[in-house]
């Protein structure tokens, strides 16, 4: 225990210096990215978006942490399970892994209440604090009870960030750049997962013989969380929240600084001015007595379900195990995981640009059809058993990459975008929290059931099952989700 404690102290001291240096460099990078985007915007529209772009990149760090903390357990779990570390049995591994998802369910559900009461900016700052403290505590955990507890607390921050970031980005962005800015959060999520996969591979390869290396893998998440906390003091508040609190002059001035056209900002704020008292006092009884609001809430829950029943997180969480089952081996599966993460990032970048210029609901339908095709082909390839092992492994990896590119490039970002835009301001934070909590509850359920399905039905059959669930999602998007009715419900609910 003394040797382990001394090792941990040395490592933390070394990486604290690294974190300080990286934090400074990363802050400079964010400022440079802001300047690049500002120049690009000035060239296109002649308006300055300096504060907006800075705020967008900082807020999107919440998405990055969401991605990193859900991805890092993939590589860290094997090391922390060793007898010299936390000595995790398979059942305890499941508890440690799922504790974050359970915390995320609660964090997403509670986030809306605090975001309405204290504001988006202050809530995001506290989310960054929880990210940092919980990450340090996870890295220092000496048994599975402490690890499970602090992973659950970390999940509170992950869930809050997943709900708060897209909503916050939508509220501070003018319409002409709103889709692009909200989609940056989706890109940062998969970028965080990619960085987690890369860090796991690098640290596992370089110091794989040192059992406590999992502590470093987890601790690396402190870098973006500290950057988020430092920069959160300088980002813009939400004009919508300022209006809800009655600060109309501040909201109007801030809207102009964020790049809203003067006439648009005045029209929105003056229109909202009439409803301040009604909106701030809107109770759940009033909400459930309003058929339009109930319809929007149900559609939001359905869209959240559609995002998760695709089976995407089974690949992100169990990708290494899946690839080992088709004969790629431990080392090959490790590097294939990086390919999966890289594919997600590239697909997100190109997909979000395409989504911004097309009808969102139509893009969702196209994405779901793609999921059905690739998952069905994946099931056929794994079920055939007539091809050589090398060919089967290659085809499985190719289908996984295509499925990920389709889902992460179309389905995932378009669902976040629709949810961020579909709710009226009076209930946006609360409804967004419920929708996001739905994604985490579904995520937890599928992640828990997936290993059981693999054992009971076989890998090939499970992919056929997910092809069917995507088919059900497509049916719902064609029959239940009505864009005109959503628009009418939004307008009527906002005007009351």
| CB proximity list for 147: less than 8 A, separation 6 or greater | 80, 86, 96, 138, 141
If you write DSSP's letter for every residue of 348-370 in order, what string do you get? HHHHHHHHHTS-HHHHHHHHHHH
**Distant-in-sequence, close-in-space partners of 425: CB < 8 Å, separation ≥ 6:** 240, 243, 244, 272, 279, 494
Lowest mean pLDDT among 44-58, 170-184, 402-416: 44-58
Instruction: Please state the rounded mean pLDDT for residues 373-392.
Output: 83
d(CA 149, CA 160): 17
Give the long-range contacts of residues 459-463, CB within 8 A, separation 24 or more.
459/322, 459/325, 459/326, 459/382, 460/379, 460/380, 460/382, 460/383, 461/379, 461/383, 462/379, 463/311, 463/375, 463/376, 463/378, 463/379, 463/382
Q: What is the pLDDT of residue 183?
A: 85
Q: Do domains 1-236 and 282-496 have the same CATH topology?
A: yes
CA distance 73 to 317: 8
Superfamily for domain range 1-236: MFS general substrate transporter like domains (1.20.1250.20)
Q: How confident is the model at residue 29 (pLDDT cuts 50, 70, 90)?
A: very low
**Tens-place pLDDT, residues 79-110:** 888 888 998 887 787 788 888 888 998 998 88
Name the H helices within 281-359: 284-288, 291-308, 312-325, 329-356
Instruction: Give the start-to-end residue ranges of the domains of the chain.
Output: 1-236, 243-281, 282-496
CB 109 within 8 A of CB 220: no
Query: Phi and psi for 267 in degrees, rounded to 5?
Result: -65, -45
- From residue 144, alpha-carbon distances to 7, 95, 165, 452, 474 in Å are 19, 9, 30, 23, 41
* pLDDT band (50, 70, 90) for residue 235: very high
**320 vs 296 pLDDT, higher one:** 296
Q: Picking from 84-98, 219-233, 248-262, which range would have the lowest pLDDT averaged per residue?
A: 84-98
Average pLDDT for 442-449: 80
In the chain, % of residues over pLDDT 70: 81
Predicted pLDDT of residue 232 = 93
In whole numbers, what is the pLDDT of the chain averaged over residues? 81
| Percent of the chain whose predicted confidence (pLDDT) is above 90 | 30
Statement: residue 474 has pLDDT above 60: yes
Of residues 164 and 207, the one with the higher pLDDT is: 164
Residue 34 has pLDDT above 60, yes or no: no
- Average pLDDT of the residues in 439-457: 79
pLDDT-derived band of residue 203, with 50, 70 and 90 as boundaries? confident
Q: Would you say residue 398 has pLDDT above 90?
A: no
Cα 32 to Cα 483: distance, rounded to the nearest angstrom: 39
**282-496, CATH topology level:** Growth Hormone; Chain: A; (1.20.1250)
Given this model, what pLDDT does residue 318 score? 64
Q: Which range, of 110-114, 305-309, 324-328, 388-392, averages the lowest pLDDT?
A: 324-328
Residue 145's nearest CA partner among 87, 73, 207, 105 is 87
Is the pLDDT at 216 greater than 90? The verdict is yes
Confidence tier at 16 by pLDDT (50, 70, 90): very low
Whether the pLDDT of residue 197 is over 80: the answer is: yes
Please say if the pLDDT value at position 465 is more than 70: yes
- Can you give the pLDDT at residue 87? 86
120 alpha carbon, distance to own chain's centre = 17
**Residue 13 confidence (pLDDT) above 60:** no
The pLDDT of 437-465, averaged and rounded, is 81
Q: Which residue has the higher pLDDT, 216 or 36?
A: 216
> Exposed, middle or buried, 3 (CB in 10 Å: 0-12/13-18/19+)?
exposed
pLDDT at res. 496: 57
């Amino acid at each position: 225990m003394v040797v382990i404690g001394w090792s941990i102290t040395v490592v933390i001291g070394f990486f604290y210096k690294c974190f300080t240096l990286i934090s400074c460099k990363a802050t400079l990078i964010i400022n440079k990215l802001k300047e690049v985007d500002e120049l690009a915007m000035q060239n296109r529209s002649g308006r300055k978006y300096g504060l907006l772009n800075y705020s967008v990149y900082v807020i999107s760090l919440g998405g990055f942490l969401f991605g990193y903390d859900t991805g890092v357990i993939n590589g860290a779990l094997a090391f922390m399970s060793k007898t010299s570390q936390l000595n995790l049995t398979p059942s305890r591994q499941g508890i440690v892994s799922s504790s974050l998802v359970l915390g995320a369910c609660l964090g997403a559900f509670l986030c809306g209440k605090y975001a309405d009461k204290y504001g988006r900016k202050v809530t995001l700052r506290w989310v960054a604090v929880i990210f940092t403290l919980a990450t340090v505590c996870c890295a220092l955990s000496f048994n599975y009870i402490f690890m499970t507890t602090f992973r659950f607390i970390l999940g509170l921050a992950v869930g809050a960030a997943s709900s708060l970031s897209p909503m916050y980005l939508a509220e501070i962005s003018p319409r002409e750049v709103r889709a692009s800015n909200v989609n940056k959060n989706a890109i940062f999520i998969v970028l965080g997962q990619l960085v987690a996969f890369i860090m796991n591979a690098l640290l596992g390869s370089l110091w794989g013989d040192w059992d406590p290396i999992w502590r470093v893998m987890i601790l690396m998440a402190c870098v973006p969380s500290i950057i988020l906390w430092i920069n959160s003091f300088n980002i813009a508040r939400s004009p919508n929240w300022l209006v809800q609190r009655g600060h109309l002059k501040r909201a109007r001035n801030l809207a102009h600084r964020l790049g809203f056209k003067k006439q648009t900002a005045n029209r929105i704020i003056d229109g909202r001015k009439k409803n301040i008292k009604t909106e701030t006092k809107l109770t759940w009884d009033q909400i459930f007595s309003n058929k339009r609001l109930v319809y929007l809430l149900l559609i939001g829950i359905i869209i959240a379900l559609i995002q998760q029943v695709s089976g995407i997180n089974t690949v992100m969480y169990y990708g290494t195990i899946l690839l080992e089952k088709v004969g790629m081996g431990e080392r090959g599966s490790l590097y294939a995981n990086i390919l999966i993460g890289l594919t997600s990032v590239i697909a997100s970048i190109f997909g979000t640009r395409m989504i911004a210029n097309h009808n969102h609901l139509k893009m969702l339908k196209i994405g779901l059809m793609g999921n059905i095709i690739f998952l069905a082909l994946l099931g056929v390839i794994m079920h055939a058993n007539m091809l050589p092992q090398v060919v089967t492994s290659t085809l499985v990896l190719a289908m996984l990459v295509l499925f990920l590119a389709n889902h992460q490039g179309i389905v995932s970002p378009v669902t976040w975008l629709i949810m961020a835009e579909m709710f009226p301001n009076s209930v946006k934070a609360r409804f967004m929290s419920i929708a996001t909590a739905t994604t985490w509850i579904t995520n937890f359920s599928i992640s828990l059931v997936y290993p059981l399905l693999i054992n009971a039905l076989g890998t090939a059959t499970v992919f056929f099952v997910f092809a069917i669930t995507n088919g059900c999602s497509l049916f719902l998007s064609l029959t239940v989700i009505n864009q005109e009715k959503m628009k009418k419900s939004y307008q009527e609910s906002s005007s009351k």
